Structures are given as C-alpha cells and as structure tokens.
Structure 1
Amino acid sequence: MSQHKVVLLLGSNIGNQKNNIDMALTKISEASSILKKSEYLTSEPVEFASSNIFCNIAIIISTHLSPIQLLDYVKKIEIEMGRLTDSTISKVYTDRIIDIDIVKYGELKFLSERLEIPHNKHLFEREFSKILLKDFI
C-alpha cells in the first residue's frame, strides 16, 4: 500500500480544547503516522458568533487511507468524541468539541459533495489557518 502525506487541521472550542485535540491526535495516530505538528494556536471563531475561543493545530500525517476513507475515519473520531453536527451537512457552523479538516492530500485535487481537496478556505482565506500552515505548505 502506498503512503500519502496529508495535512490536517484540528480545532476545538468546547471543554478543555487542548486535551480534546490531544485525544484526537492519539486516535489519528492509531491509523496513520504523525510526521509533524505545529504549535497550538488560539483563535476567534470564524464564520459564526461564539464566546468560546478555539484551540487549533496543524499536522502532517502519512497514511495509506484514500481521501474518502480518511474523511470517514476523521468523521468517526469527531462523532466518538461527541460532535453532534457536521457543518458540511448542516451548512451552519457551531461550537464543537473537535473539528478535523483535510487541508491537502499530497498534490491531489478532489471535489465531491463531502470533500474538497485542497481545502481552499484554510489555504487562502482563514488567517489562523495561514499562520498554522506557513511551515507546512
């Protein structure tokens, strides 16, 4: 099986945000190798109003999972950790215990109803993402 380098962004703004991210990192490492991690960064919510601040991190993983398999895997982690709504489906951003986004998957360009690679909002529009990704892209 071939390995793919993938950039993920993780964020949390409910409960102990850093612990939530660390728990998600542990779960991700059960199926993929974490090659690199950014520093943790706090940021204001983007595209919705909340008084809860986000903690965010960027990572590079090596995985044998296809883009859709990886998406299914990270969505499973989100649900296991207690995330109740998926903004891809609801089209509404809300507070969340964990959010895991696939930002890049090698040099692949992919578009479906569930997944867009690369994740252009993170690459080009969101300031916190650009800060986290500056040494990754």
Structure 2
Amino acid sequence: MNAHSTSDTSEAYIALGANLGDREQTLMSAIRMLDKQDDIEVIACSDLYETDPVGYTDQPAFINMAISVNTTLSPEELLGRMLEIENQLGRVRHIRWGPRTVDLDLLWYEGVEMNTEKLILPHPRMQERAFVLVPLSDVVREKSDNISCFVQTALESLDERDGIRRWKTCNWPDESALSEN
C-alpha cells in the first residue's frame, strides 16, 4: 500500500471503556498511546462518564468516553493499532461484555461503510447504547459527514439514559487537571 500524504487524513471516532483497575488512568494511557502514533492525532476528547454495566451486569461500573482522531491509516490498520493498545494495557477477553481493563471500539470512519469479518462501519450497535452516544455527542463536530445528525437523532430516540453519570471533564490535550488527583 502506498504511503499516505497528509491530505489523505480521515476523521474517525473511537469509544473507550474500562471497569477494572485504575479506570481513568488506563483510558488516559490508551489516548496517549494512540496520540503517540505517527499516523494518528487525537483531536478531541469527551467527558468521562460512569456507566452501569450492560449485558453481563455482575461486574463493576464502567468509565466510558469517546475521542475523535485524524488518521492516515485505513480503518483496518486503525483497528489493528487499537487492538495492540488494548493488549499492551492488559485486555483479556473471557466473557462477552465482561469486565475489562480497557475496550476500544472504532465507531465511525469518515466516508467509509463496510461489513467484513473483522470490522463493521459504522459500528452496528452504537445507536442503541447511551454509554456510547452520550460521550460521542461531546466530540462530534457539525461538519462531520452526517455523524452529528446521526448521533443527535439516535440520542433523541433512545428510551433509556439511566445509568450514565458525568464523572469528570477531560481537558485534552492539557490533561494535567486529570493527573492531579
């Protein structure tokens, strides 16, 4: 594959979640690790939300958030980097929707719709999940390919927003306010 030029930058949105260990520290580490990649730039960070577990409920509460990035990677390459970061931060997959140190989900990638064994874009269940939509609404920008309209419409049609509490503000890239706890 040819090297991308800077004009081939695409915007993407990533959901992050954690419910084991130091949840906030792990999420901020994941964001820093993404931003340190030569071909990924984190441009916005949602607030952090504490959320009740969904699906498998016998586990600790999650911290969920979303980020927007600019990248020259393809969606598959971006997903690969995200999975590497999950592994580096100790992600183990035992129980579907079970406890985890960190979870990174590629929600949306500018101008791309795809459905492969490894990746479905846009993410097929994000419109059903308040724990994804609420943080995502913090970072979507008006200009972004219908995503802001999609998120707004999905939020309006959600029955439930229970179990989501704004927990802390993220001041990316100046996260010094976060690390002074």
User: What TM-score results when the alignment is normalised by the length of structure 1?
Assistant: 0.91
CA distance in 2, matches of 1:54, 1:134: 18
- Name the counterpart of 2:90: 82
Q: Quick one: which of 75, 78, 82 aligns to 1:70?
A: 78
- Name the counterpart of 2:56: 48
- The reply on whether 1:9 has 2:15 as its aligned counterpart is yes
Q: Is the 8 A contact 2:86 2:103 kept in 1?
A: yes
1:86 is displaced (CA, Å) by 7.4
Percent identical across equivalent pairs?
27
Q: Which amino acid aligns with 2:130?
A: E
- Name the counterpart of 1:25: 31
Q: Which amino acid aligns with 1:100?
A: L
| Unaligned segments of structure 2, at least 5 residues | 141-147, 149-181
- Number of residue pairs aligned between Structure 1 and Structure 2: 132
CA distance in 2, matches of 1:73, 1:83: 14
Q: Quick one: which of 127, 132, 144 aligns to 1:129?
A: 132
| Unaligned segments of structure 1, at least 5 residues | none
Q: Which amino acid aligns with 2:66?
A: A
- RMSD value, Cα: 1.4
* Structure with more contact order per residue of length (Cα contacts < 8 Å, sep ≥ 6): 1
1:12-54 CA distance string (max 9 Å, x none): 0001100000000010001211111111111011121233010
CA distance in 1, matches of 2:121, 2:94: 17
Q: Quick one: which of 87, 90, 93 aligns to 2:97?
A: 93
- Name the counterpart of 2:45: 37
- Name the counterpart of 2:164: none
1:114 is displaced (CA, Å) by 1.3
1:101 is displaced (CA, Å) by 0.4
User: What TM-score results when the alignment is normalised by the length of structure 2?
Assistant: 0.70
